[in-house]
Amino acid sequence: MRRLRRRRELFPPDRGLQARMVAAAVGTPLLVLASLAAVVALLPGRILGAVALAAVLGSVMAVRARKRLDRARLLGAGEEPELRAVVERLCVVGDLPRPEIALDDERQPNSWMVDLPGRPPRLHVTRGLLDVLDGPELEAVVAHELSHLANRDATVMTVAGWPGAMLLEGGRSMMRGWWWVAVGAAVAAGIGLLSRAGTNALSRYRELSADAGAAALTGRPSALASALVKVSGTLDRLPARDLRAVAGRDAFHLMPVEDPRSDRAGRDDRHPLLRRLGATHPTLEVRLAALERLERKMGAARPGATGLV
């Protein structure tokens, strides 16, 4: 009972997050099914066949992507002792199950949590992240990812987002060809984009909730703020081709990689509404402001704290 009480104190129920999780888990698949029903009822057979082909192709791509994740190298005994110690310590403090730890050999500094039903959770960190962050910052990032585990939102994101992602990726890969193939691909991609708008709304909120969980778990919002600033600055300096290669995971990343539709100065020529619907994360400024508020609140219990650095 004491351990359960500790977890509830660190991760109190977030009604806003829970409501969005229910909406994503129920509403997003229903939206995809309703859109497909309209396609069957209204579009001619050849275009319908192209949509079905996009769904099949997207399923194959999703399976391949899952296999690539499954092949990520799990840390062996004695590897990355600092990272392993941080994970174990925070899991004890938060009374959380210990995830598997996978090290991805990527330059971009990032992390994400995969939590599929019936399988052990897996924390992914990139080599770039370990190279960029110091000890307290790494602890704050791990706490952020463990908060996703505590809130159970990683499972909802994976399951609810799969149908739309399947249609979107399959449609994008079929845009060239006969006119009816191109139209069917565009319809499939459009349904996928509608679905992604719903899961992105959950994604943006869950990042703020995980930031708050990390602050509670470590007691140092400033460390997470520093980590976010470092990661963002490093991403800005990486080649766009490197970032496009991992952009498909953005809804799960600690920080989104640079949008390939933006130039290197960060400008984006999309309509503000489309930019908002397409965003997987709140802006860095919004996250830093929320962490600043948490730092001030915790400062009452830590005389002498001066805020984020």
pLDDT digits (tens, 9 = 90+) for 169-179: 677 667 666 66
The answer as to whether 148 is a domain residue is: yes
> Between 99 and 39, where is the model more confident?
99
The answer as to whether 210 is a domain residue is: yes
The answer as to whether 221 is a domain residue is: yes
Query: What pLDDT score was predicted for residue 53?
Result: 74
Q: Is the pLDDT assigned to residue 65 strictly greater than 80?
A: no
The answer as to whether 306 is a domain residue is: no
Does residue 145 have an active-site annotation? Answer: yes
Q: Is the pLDDT assigned to residue 277 strictly greater than 70?
A: no
The answer as to whether 309 is a domain residue is: no
Q: Average pLDDT for residues 55-67, to the nearest whole number?
A: 68
Q: Is the pLDDT assigned to residue 101 strictly greater than 80?
A: yes
Q: Average pLDDT for residues 48-74, to the nearest whole number?
A: 70
The answer as to whether 106 is a domain residue is: yes
Q: Average pLDDT for residues 16-35, to the nearest whole number?
A: 86
Residue 206 pLDDT level (bands cut at 50, 70, 90): very high
Query: What pLDDT score was predicted for residue 5?
Result: 54
> Between 241 and 141, where is the model more confident?
141
Catalytic option among 80, 106, 139, 145: 145
> Between 165 and 292, where is the model more confident?
292
The answer as to whether 255 is a domain residue is: yes
Quote the number of domains for the chain: 1
Query: What pLDDT score was predicted for residue 309?
Result: 46
Least trusted range by pLDDT, from 223-237, 253-267, 270-284: 253-267
Residue 48 pLDDT level (bands cut at 50, 70, 90): confident
The answer as to whether 58 is a domain residue is: yes
What's the domain range around 162? 2-298
Global pTM reads: 0.81
**Residue keyed to tokens 């990683």:** 154
> What does R_g of the chain's alpha carbons equal in angstroms?
20
Query: What pLDDT score was predicted for residue 156?
Result: 87
Least trusted range by pLDDT, from 21-30, 128-137, 190-199: 190-199
Q: Is the pLDDT assigned to residue 85 strictly greater than 90?
A: yes
Q: Average pLDDT for residues 193-214, to the nearest whole number?
A: 88
Residue 180 pLDDT level (bands cut at 50, 70, 90): low
